[in-house]
Amino acid sequence: MMNTPENTLYIRMGGEATLQKLVTLFYDKVAKHPDLAPIFPDDLTLTAEKQYKFLSQFFGGPPLYSQEYGHPMLRARHLPFEITPTRAKAWLACMHETLDQMELDKQVKDEMLSRFTTTAYHMMNTPE
Ligand code: HEM
Protein backbone atom coordinates (compact mmCIF):
# COMPACT_ATOMS: atom_id res chain seq x y z
CA MET A 1 0.00 0.00 0.00
CA MET A 2 1.38 3.41 -0.94
CA ASN A 3 1.60 6.04 1.77
CA THR A 4 0.16 8.94 -0.22
CA PRO A 5 -0.73 12.21 1.56
CA GLU A 6 -4.40 11.12 1.50
CA ASN A 7 -3.69 7.64 2.75
CA THR A 8 -0.90 7.80 5.29
CA LEU A 9 -0.07 5.00 7.70
CA TYR A 10 -1.40 7.39 10.38
CA ILE A 11 -4.83 7.40 8.73
CA ARG A 12 -4.81 3.69 7.95
CA MET A 13 -4.00 2.71 11.57
CA GLY A 14 -6.85 4.85 12.94
CA GLY A 15 -4.96 8.05 13.84
CA GLU A 16 -5.01 9.62 17.29
CA ALA A 17 -7.15 7.00 19.08
CA THR A 18 -4.88 4.16 17.93
CA LEU A 19 -1.68 5.95 18.89
CA GLN A 20 -3.00 6.96 22.31
CA LYS A 21 -3.88 3.35 23.03
CA LEU A 22 -0.53 2.16 21.67
CA VAL A 23 1.59 4.41 23.92
CA THR A 24 -0.46 3.51 27.01
CA LEU A 25 -0.08 -0.24 26.45
CA PHE A 26 3.57 0.12 25.38
CA TYR A 27 4.83 2.09 28.41
CA ASP A 28 3.00 -0.26 30.80
CA LYS A 29 5.26 -2.96 29.40
CA VAL A 30 8.40 -0.81 29.40
CA ALA A 31 7.80 0.00 33.10
CA LYS A 32 7.81 -3.74 33.90
CA HIS A 33 10.66 -4.82 31.62
CA PRO A 34 13.84 -5.63 33.59
CA ASP A 35 16.18 -4.42 30.80
CA LEU A 36 14.28 -1.19 30.11
CA ALA A 37 12.78 0.05 33.38
CA PRO A 38 16.17 1.08 34.89
CA ILE A 39 16.88 3.70 32.19
CA PHE A 40 13.37 5.24 32.13
CA PRO A 41 11.92 7.72 34.63
CA ASP A 42 9.54 6.28 37.28
CA ASP A 43 6.74 8.48 36.04
CA LEU A 44 6.25 7.76 32.35
CA THR A 45 3.45 10.29 31.78
CA LEU A 46 5.57 12.85 29.92
CA THR A 47 7.54 10.15 28.08
CA ALA A 48 4.29 8.62 26.77
CA GLU A 49 2.96 12.03 25.78
CA LYS A 50 6.15 12.87 23.85
CA GLN A 51 6.10 9.48 22.16
CA TYR A 52 2.47 9.98 21.14
CA LYS A 53 3.34 13.36 19.60
CA PHE A 54 6.42 11.96 17.89
CA LEU A 55 4.60 8.94 16.43
CA SER A 56 1.86 11.19 15.10
CA GLN A 57 4.34 12.85 12.76
CA PHE A 58 6.50 9.73 12.26
CA PHE A 59 3.52 7.99 10.63
CA GLY A 60 2.43 10.96 8.53
CA GLY A 61 -0.06 12.68 10.87
CA PRO A 62 0.09 16.16 12.44
CA PRO A 63 3.65 17.30 13.38
CA LEU A 64 2.78 17.59 17.08
CA TYR A 65 6.26 16.80 18.41
CA SER A 66 8.17 19.31 16.27
CA GLN A 67 5.63 22.05 16.97
CA GLU A 68 6.46 21.77 20.65
CA TYR A 69 10.03 20.48 20.87
CA GLY A 70 11.67 21.30 17.54
CA HIS A 71 13.54 18.83 15.35
CA PRO A 72 13.33 15.33 16.92
CA MET A 73 17.10 14.52 16.52
CA LEU A 74 16.08 11.16 17.87
CA ARG A 75 19.50 9.51 17.97
CA ALA A 76 21.04 12.52 19.72
CA ARG A 77 18.23 12.58 22.29
CA HIS A 78 18.96 8.92 23.09
CA LEU A 79 22.72 9.39 23.57
CA PRO A 80 22.45 9.99 27.35
CA PHE A 81 21.10 6.42 27.67
CA GLU A 82 23.06 3.22 27.07
CA ILE A 83 21.14 1.57 24.26
CA THR A 84 22.62 -1.89 23.82
CA PRO A 85 21.46 -4.53 21.32
CA THR A 86 19.64 -6.23 24.23
CA ARG A 87 17.75 -3.03 25.02
CA ALA A 88 16.85 -2.44 21.37
CA LYS A 89 15.47 -6.00 21.19
CA ALA A 90 13.58 -5.51 24.47
CA TRP A 91 12.04 -2.25 23.20
CA LEU A 92 10.96 -3.99 20.00
CA ALA A 93 9.57 -6.99 21.92
CA CYS A 94 7.39 -4.62 24.00
CA MET A 95 6.20 -2.93 20.81
CA HIS A 96 5.52 -6.24 19.09
CA GLU A 97 3.42 -7.41 22.05
CA THR A 98 1.57 -4.08 22.08
CA LEU A 99 0.69 -4.31 18.39
CA ASP A 100 -0.45 -7.92 18.86
CA GLN A 101 -2.85 -6.76 21.56
CA MET A 102 -4.45 -4.18 19.28
CA GLU A 103 -6.97 -4.83 16.56
CA LEU A 104 -4.91 -3.75 13.61
CA ASP A 105 -4.90 -4.80 10.01
CA LYS A 106 -1.98 -7.20 9.41
CA GLN A 107 -0.52 -5.08 6.62
CA VAL A 108 -0.66 -1.95 8.80
CA LYS A 109 0.92 -3.80 11.72
CA ASP A 110 3.75 -5.15 9.55
CA GLU A 111 4.50 -1.70 8.14
CA MET A 112 4.58 -0.20 11.63
CA LEU A 113 6.88 -2.92 12.96
CA SER A 114 9.21 -2.52 10.03
CA ARG A 115 9.57 1.23 10.68
CA PHE A 116 10.02 0.65 14.43
CA THR A 117 12.70 -1.98 13.79
CA THR A 118 14.81 0.26 11.54
CA THR A 119 14.56 3.14 14.00
CA ALA A 120 15.27 1.03 17.10
CA TYR A 121 18.48 -0.35 15.57
CA HIS A 122 19.48 3.17 14.58
CA MET A 123 19.21 4.20 18.28
CA MET A 124 21.82 1.67 19.46
CA ASN A 125 24.85 3.48 20.84
CA THR A 126 26.52 1.01 23.24
CA PRO A 127 27.87 -2.56 22.78
CA GLU A 128 26.73 -5.26 25.26
C1 HEM B 1 16.05 1.01 20.80
C2 HEM B 1 15.54 1.00 22.01
C3 HEM B 1 15.10 2.27 22.71
C4 HEM B 1 15.35 2.59 24.00
C5 HEM B 1 16.07 1.70 25.00
C6 HEM B 1 14.79 3.91 24.24
C7 HEM B 1 14.88 4.59 25.44
C8 HEM B 1 14.44 5.88 25.66
C9 HEM B 1 14.63 6.62 26.88
C10 HEM B 1 15.32 6.10 28.13
C11 HEM B 1 14.05 7.83 26.70
C12 HEM B 1 13.98 8.99 27.72
C13 HEM B 1 12.66 8.94 28.44
C14 HEM B 1 12.42 10.20 29.25
O15 HEM B 1 13.37 10.73 29.84
O16 HEM B 1 11.28 10.66 29.27
C17 HEM B 1 13.51 7.87 25.36
C18 HEM B 1 12.85 8.94 24.80
C19 HEM B 1 12.24 8.91 23.58
N20 HEM B 1 12.24 7.89 22.69
FE21 HEM B 1 13.23 6.16 22.88
N22 HEM B 1 14.19 4.36 23.10
C23 HEM B 1 14.35 3.40 22.13
C24 HEM B 1 13.86 3.45 20.85
C25 HEM B 1 13.01 4.43 20.36
C26 HEM B 1 12.35 4.38 19.08
C27 HEM B 1 12.48 3.22 18.08
C28 HEM B 1 11.62 5.52 18.98
C29 HEM B 1 10.72 6.00 17.88
C30 HEM B 1 10.17 5.22 16.98
C31 HEM B 1 11.82 6.28 20.20
C32 HEM B 1 11.25 7.51 20.48
C33 HEM B 1 11.49 8.26 21.60
C34 HEM B 1 10.99 9.60 21.81
C35 HEM B 1 10.12 10.41 20.84
C36 HEM B 1 11.46 10.02 23.05
C37 HEM B 1 11.24 11.39 23.72
C38 HEM B 1 12.40 12.31 23.35
C39 HEM B 1 12.36 13.61 24.13
O40 HEM B 1 12.83 13.64 25.25
O41 HEM B 1 11.82 14.59 23.62
N42 HEM B 1 12.67 5.58 21.02
N43 HEM B 1 13.76 6.67 24.75
Q: What is the pLDDT of residue 7?
A: 87
Alpha-carbon distance of 29 to 31, in angstroms, equals 5
29: CB partners within 8 A, 6+ apart: 94, 97, 98
Locate the domains of the chain by residue range: 9-123
Residue nearest to atom 25 of ligand 1 (CA): 120
Ligand 1 mutation target, pool 39, 47, 49, most atoms within 8 A of CB: 47
Overall fold of domain 9-123: Globin-like (1.10.490)
Q: Is 20 exposed, middle or buried (0-12, 13-18, 19+ CB in 10 A)?
A: middle
Q: What is the pLDDT of residue 2?
A: 67
Q: What is the pLDDT of residue 65?
A: 98
Residues of the chain with confidence (pLDDT) below 70: 1-2, 5
Alpha-carbon distance of 98 to 33, in angstroms, equals 13
Residue nearest to atom 20 of ligand 1 (CA): 51
Q: Is 65 exposed, middle or buried (0-12, 13-18, 19+ CB in 10 A)?
A: buried
